[in-house]
Amino acid sequence: MTLTLFLFYLAAGIALLSTVLALTRANAAHALIFLIVSLLAIAVLFFFLGAPFAAALEIVIYAGAIMVLFVFVVMMLNLSEGSREQERAMLDFSNWWLPGLLTAVLLVELLYVLTAIESETSVRAVMPKEVGLSLFGPYVLGVELASMLLLAGLVGAYHLGHRFLQRDRGRRD
Amino acid sequence: MGAEMVPVEHVLVLAGLLFVIGLFGLMLRRNIIFMLMALEVMLNSAALAFIAAGARWGQADGQVIFMFILAIAAAEVSVGLGLVLQMRRQLQSLDMNDAVRLRG
Protein backbone atom coordinates (compact mmCIF):
# COMPACT_ATOMS: atom_id res chain seq x y z
CA MET A 1 0.00 0.00 0.00
CA THR A 2 1.48 3.31 -1.01
CA LEU A 3 1.67 6.32 1.27
CA THR A 4 -0.97 8.20 -0.74
CA LEU A 5 -3.43 5.37 -0.38
CA PHE A 6 -2.70 5.04 3.32
CA LEU A 7 -3.29 8.76 3.89
CA PHE A 8 -6.48 8.56 1.83
CA TYR A 9 -7.95 5.76 3.95
CA LEU A 10 -6.79 7.52 7.11
CA ALA A 11 -8.68 10.69 6.12
CA ALA A 12 -11.73 8.63 5.17
CA GLY A 13 -11.68 6.89 8.56
CA ILE A 14 -11.36 10.19 10.40
CA ALA A 15 -14.28 11.61 8.41
CA LEU A 16 -16.52 8.65 9.25
CA LEU A 17 -15.54 8.49 12.92
CA SER A 18 -15.93 12.20 13.57
CA THR A 19 -19.29 12.31 11.78
CA VAL A 20 -20.63 9.47 13.93
CA LEU A 21 -19.31 11.17 17.05
CA ALA A 22 -20.77 14.52 15.99
CA LEU A 23 -24.30 13.17 15.58
CA THR A 24 -24.31 11.17 18.82
CA ARG A 25 -23.08 13.86 21.24
CA ALA A 26 -25.43 15.35 23.81
CA ASN A 27 -23.49 18.62 23.95
CA ALA A 28 -24.04 20.76 20.84
CA ALA A 29 -20.68 22.56 21.12
CA HIS A 30 -18.75 19.26 21.21
CA ALA A 31 -20.78 17.98 18.26
CA LEU A 32 -19.89 21.08 16.24
CA ILE A 33 -16.16 20.59 16.85
CA PHE A 34 -16.43 16.97 15.66
CA LEU A 35 -18.35 18.11 12.60
CA ILE A 36 -15.62 20.63 11.77
CA VAL A 37 -13.02 17.84 12.02
CA SER A 38 -15.15 15.75 9.67
CA LEU A 39 -15.34 18.60 7.14
CA LEU A 40 -11.56 19.09 7.28
CA ALA A 41 -11.04 15.36 6.66
CA ILE A 42 -13.36 15.54 3.64
CA ALA A 43 -11.36 18.53 2.37
CA VAL A 44 -8.26 16.29 2.51
CA LEU A 45 -10.16 13.71 0.45
CA PHE A 46 -10.93 16.42 -2.12
CA PHE A 47 -7.19 17.09 -2.42
CA PHE A 48 -6.55 13.39 -3.06
CA LEU A 49 -9.29 13.38 -5.69
CA GLY A 50 -7.49 16.13 -7.60
CA ALA A 51 -9.87 18.96 -6.70
CA PRO A 52 -7.71 21.51 -4.82
CA PHE A 53 -10.09 24.40 -5.42
CA ALA A 54 -13.04 22.45 -3.99
CA ALA A 55 -10.90 21.50 -0.99
CA ALA A 56 -10.06 25.15 -0.32
CA LEU A 57 -13.74 26.10 -0.63
CA GLU A 58 -14.71 23.28 1.72
CA ILE A 59 -12.39 24.69 4.37
CA VAL A 60 -13.12 28.37 3.81
CA ILE A 61 -16.89 28.24 3.36
CA TYR A 62 -18.05 25.03 5.06
CA ALA A 63 -15.70 24.81 8.02
CA GLY A 64 -14.97 28.52 8.13
CA ALA A 65 -18.31 30.22 7.52
CA ILE A 66 -21.22 27.79 7.89
CA MET A 67 -19.88 26.01 10.97
CA VAL A 68 -18.91 29.31 12.61
CA LEU A 69 -22.54 30.40 12.10
CA PHE A 70 -23.60 27.26 13.97
CA VAL A 71 -21.09 27.99 16.74
CA PHE A 72 -22.42 31.55 17.09
CA VAL A 73 -26.01 30.35 17.40
CA VAL A 74 -25.11 27.65 19.94
CA MET A 75 -23.22 30.22 22.01
CA MET A 76 -26.09 32.71 21.69
CA LEU A 77 -28.70 30.20 22.85
CA ASN A 78 -26.55 29.24 25.84
CA LEU A 79 -27.97 25.72 26.19
CA SER A 80 -28.49 24.65 29.78
CA GLU A 81 -27.50 21.42 31.52
CA GLY A 82 -31.18 20.42 31.53
CA SER A 83 -31.35 20.32 27.75
CA ARG A 84 -28.18 18.23 27.71
CA GLU A 85 -29.80 15.73 30.07
CA GLN A 86 -32.81 15.64 27.76
CA GLU A 87 -30.52 14.96 24.80
CA ARG A 88 -28.84 12.11 26.66
CA ALA A 89 -32.23 10.58 27.38
CA MET A 90 -33.08 10.86 23.67
CA LEU A 91 -30.02 8.79 22.77
CA ASP A 92 -31.45 5.74 24.50
CA PHE A 93 -31.46 2.40 22.65
CA SER A 94 -35.25 2.33 22.44
CA ASN A 95 -35.08 5.51 20.37
CA TRP A 96 -32.43 4.53 17.89
CA TRP A 97 -33.07 0.92 16.96
CA LEU A 98 -35.82 1.67 14.43
CA PRO A 99 -34.01 4.45 12.51
CA GLY A 100 -30.87 2.31 12.78
CA LEU A 101 -32.63 -0.65 11.18
CA LEU A 102 -34.14 1.46 8.38
CA THR A 103 -30.86 3.18 7.51
CA ALA A 104 -28.98 -0.13 7.70
CA VAL A 105 -31.32 -1.57 5.06
CA LEU A 106 -30.79 1.53 2.94
CA LEU A 107 -27.00 1.22 3.35
CA VAL A 108 -27.02 -2.43 2.26
CA GLU A 109 -28.99 -1.48 -0.84
CA LEU A 110 -26.59 1.37 -1.62
CA LEU A 111 -23.56 -0.90 -1.24
CA TYR A 112 -25.22 -3.53 -3.43
CA VAL A 113 -25.69 -0.95 -6.18
CA LEU A 114 -22.09 0.17 -5.82
CA THR A 115 -20.76 -3.38 -6.31
CA ALA A 116 -22.00 -3.16 -9.91
CA ILE A 117 -19.45 -0.48 -10.90
CA GLU A 118 -16.06 -1.66 -12.03
CA SER A 119 -12.94 -0.63 -10.17
CA GLU A 120 -11.37 2.56 -11.47
CA THR A 121 -8.33 4.30 -10.05
CA SER A 122 -7.33 6.61 -12.90
CA VAL A 123 -8.35 9.97 -11.51
CA ARG A 124 -7.53 13.17 -13.39
CA ALA A 125 -6.95 16.37 -11.45
CA VAL A 126 -9.26 19.24 -12.47
CA MET A 127 -7.65 22.62 -11.97
CA PRO A 128 -9.50 25.82 -10.93
CA LYS A 129 -9.14 27.33 -14.41
CA GLU A 130 -11.28 24.62 -15.99
CA VAL A 131 -13.83 24.96 -13.21
CA GLY A 132 -14.06 28.71 -13.74
CA LEU A 133 -14.43 28.36 -17.50
CA SER A 134 -17.19 25.81 -17.00
CA LEU A 135 -18.87 27.84 -14.26
CA PHE A 136 -19.14 31.00 -16.35
CA GLY A 137 -19.62 29.20 -19.66
CA PRO A 138 -22.34 26.53 -19.86
CA TYR A 139 -23.38 26.92 -16.21
CA VAL A 140 -23.83 30.70 -16.09
CA LEU A 141 -27.60 30.38 -15.65
CA GLY A 142 -26.99 28.18 -12.60
CA VAL A 143 -24.68 30.84 -11.17
CA GLU A 144 -27.44 33.44 -11.59
CA LEU A 145 -29.96 31.16 -9.89
CA ALA A 146 -27.52 30.46 -7.04
CA SER A 147 -27.04 34.20 -6.53
CA MET A 148 -30.82 34.68 -6.36
CA LEU A 149 -31.06 31.81 -3.88
CA LEU A 150 -28.39 33.43 -1.71
CA LEU A 151 -30.24 36.75 -1.88
CA ALA A 152 -33.45 35.03 -0.80
CA GLY A 153 -31.54 33.37 2.05
CA LEU A 154 -30.11 36.74 3.08
CA VAL A 155 -33.52 38.41 3.10
CA GLY A 156 -35.08 35.48 4.97
CA ALA A 157 -32.34 35.37 7.60
CA TYR A 158 -32.55 39.14 8.07
CA HIS A 159 -36.31 38.99 8.46
CA LEU A 160 -36.18 36.22 11.08
CA GLY A 161 -33.21 37.61 12.98
CA HIS A 162 -34.56 41.17 12.87
CA ARG A 163 -37.73 40.16 14.68
CA PHE A 164 -35.66 38.21 17.20
CA LEU A 165 -33.57 41.28 18.05
CA GLN A 166 -36.57 43.59 18.18
CA ARG A 167 -38.46 41.34 20.57
CA ASP A 168 -35.37 41.03 22.74
CA ARG A 169 -35.09 44.80 22.97
CA GLY A 170 -38.76 45.16 23.81
CA ARG A 171 -38.44 42.67 26.64
CA ARG A 172 -35.48 44.47 28.17
CA ASP A 173 -37.27 47.83 28.33
CA MET B 1 0.01 15.19 -5.99
CA GLY B 2 -0.92 11.54 -5.98
CA ALA B 3 -4.31 11.98 -7.52
CA GLU B 4 -3.84 8.99 -9.81
CA MET B 5 -4.16 6.09 -7.37
CA VAL B 6 -7.27 6.79 -5.35
CA PRO B 7 -9.99 4.16 -5.96
CA VAL B 8 -13.13 6.07 -6.91
CA GLU B 9 -15.58 3.35 -5.90
CA HIS B 10 -14.30 3.51 -2.32
CA VAL B 11 -15.02 7.24 -2.30
CA LEU B 12 -18.57 6.48 -3.43
CA VAL B 13 -18.91 3.91 -0.64
CA LEU B 14 -17.69 6.55 1.82
CA ALA B 15 -20.19 9.06 0.45
CA GLY B 16 -22.97 6.48 0.87
CA LEU B 17 -21.89 5.77 4.43
CA LEU B 18 -21.82 9.47 5.30
CA PHE B 19 -25.25 9.98 3.75
CA VAL B 20 -26.70 7.09 5.74
CA ILE B 21 -25.11 8.37 8.95
CA GLY B 22 -26.64 11.79 8.29
CA LEU B 23 -30.06 10.28 7.62
CA PHE B 24 -29.78 8.20 10.78
CA GLY B 25 -28.88 11.32 12.78
CA LEU B 26 -31.80 13.21 11.25
CA MET B 27 -34.23 10.48 12.31
CA LEU B 28 -32.66 9.95 15.73
CA ARG B 29 -32.36 13.51 16.99
CA ARG B 30 -35.24 15.77 17.90
CA ASN B 31 -33.10 18.81 18.70
CA ILE B 32 -33.40 21.21 15.77
CA ILE B 33 -29.71 22.19 15.85
CA PHE B 34 -28.65 18.55 15.52
CA MET B 35 -31.17 18.03 12.74
CA LEU B 36 -29.63 20.93 10.81
CA MET B 37 -26.19 19.42 11.40
CA ALA B 38 -27.38 16.08 10.04
CA LEU B 39 -28.70 17.87 6.96
CA GLU B 40 -25.26 19.42 6.49
CA VAL B 41 -23.65 15.97 6.66
CA MET B 42 -26.04 14.66 4.01
CA LEU B 43 -25.44 17.62 1.67
CA ASN B 44 -21.71 17.21 2.15
CA SER B 45 -21.78 13.50 1.30
CA ALA B 46 -23.63 14.32 -1.93
CA ALA B 47 -20.94 16.91 -2.70
CA LEU B 48 -18.27 14.26 -2.10
CA ALA B 49 -19.96 11.92 -4.58
CA PHE B 50 -20.08 14.72 -7.18
CA ILE B 51 -16.38 15.52 -6.72
CA ALA B 52 -15.51 11.82 -7.05
CA ALA B 53 -17.53 11.52 -10.25
CA GLY B 54 -15.95 14.68 -11.65
CA ALA B 55 -12.49 13.31 -10.89
CA ARG B 56 -13.32 9.93 -12.40
CA TRP B 57 -14.19 11.42 -15.79
CA GLY B 58 -11.78 14.33 -15.54
CA GLN B 59 -14.50 16.91 -16.06
CA ALA B 60 -15.06 20.20 -14.25
CA ASP B 61 -18.82 19.63 -13.88
CA GLY B 62 -18.42 17.81 -10.56
CA GLN B 63 -16.77 20.81 -8.95
CA VAL B 64 -19.33 23.18 -10.49
CA ILE B 65 -22.14 21.19 -8.87
CA PHE B 66 -20.12 21.20 -5.65
CA MET B 67 -20.22 24.99 -5.69
CA PHE B 68 -23.99 24.98 -6.21
CA ILE B 69 -24.34 22.60 -3.26
CA LEU B 70 -22.22 25.02 -1.22
CA ALA B 71 -24.56 27.91 -2.11
CA ILE B 72 -27.63 25.82 -1.23
CA ALA B 73 -26.09 24.80 2.10
CA ALA B 74 -25.26 28.41 2.98
CA ALA B 75 -28.78 29.65 2.16
CA GLU B 76 -30.40 26.74 3.99
CA VAL B 77 -28.29 27.19 7.12
CA SER B 78 -28.85 30.95 7.35
CA VAL B 79 -32.64 30.60 7.17
CA GLY B 80 -32.62 27.47 9.35
CA LEU B 81 -30.64 29.13 12.12
CA GLY B 82 -32.94 32.16 11.95
CA LEU B 83 -35.83 29.77 12.53
CA VAL B 84 -33.91 28.19 15.44
CA LEU B 85 -33.64 31.61 17.08
CA GLN B 86 -37.35 32.28 16.56
CA MET B 87 -38.26 28.85 17.94
CA ARG B 88 -36.14 29.39 21.02
CA ARG B 89 -37.73 32.82 21.51
CA GLN B 90 -41.34 31.70 21.13
CA LEU B 91 -41.37 28.15 22.52
CA GLN B 92 -38.40 28.33 24.95
CA SER B 93 -37.34 24.97 23.53
CA LEU B 94 -35.33 23.47 20.68
CA ASP B 95 -37.30 20.22 20.62
CA MET B 96 -39.07 19.55 17.34
CA ASN B 97 -41.89 17.78 19.20
CA ASP B 98 -42.86 21.14 20.73
CA ALA B 99 -43.24 22.70 17.28
CA VAL B 100 -45.65 20.19 15.72
CA ARG B 101 -48.67 22.48 15.97
CA LEU B 102 -47.09 25.14 13.69
CA ARG B 103 -48.77 27.84 15.80
CA GLY B 104 -46.91 28.66 19.00
Res. A164: pLDDT tops 90: no
Residues 40-99 of chain B with CB under 8 A from chain A are 40-41, 44, 48, 51-52, 54-64, 66-68, 70-79, 81-86, 88-89, 94-95
pTM of the predicted model, to two decimals?
A: 0.88
Are A74 and B33 within 8 A, CB to CB? yes
Predicted pLDDT of residue B85: 87
Residue B2 binned pLDDT confidence (cut-offs 50, 70, 90): very low
Check: CB of residue B43 under 8 Å from CB of residue B69: yes
Q: Give CA–CA dist A30/A22, Å, rounded.
A: 7
Q: Is the ipTM of this complex over 0.95?
A: no
Predicted pLDDT of residue B16: 93
Helix residue ranges per DSSP H, chain A: 3-23, 28-48, 52-57, 67-77, 81-90, 93-114, 128-135, 140-172
Res. B31: pLDDT tops 70: yes
Average per-residue pLDDT for chain A: 85
Facing B75 at nearest CB: one of A24, A153, A160: A153
Q: Give CA–CA dist B32/B27, Å, rounded.
A: 11
Residues 3-32 of chain B with CB under 8 A from chain A are 3-14, 16-25, 27-31
* Beta carbons within 8 Å of A38's beta carbon, 6+ residues apart: A14, A15, A18, A19, A22, B41
Residue A81 binned pLDDT confidence (cut-offs 50, 70, 90): low
Are B14 and A125 within 8 A, CB to CB? no
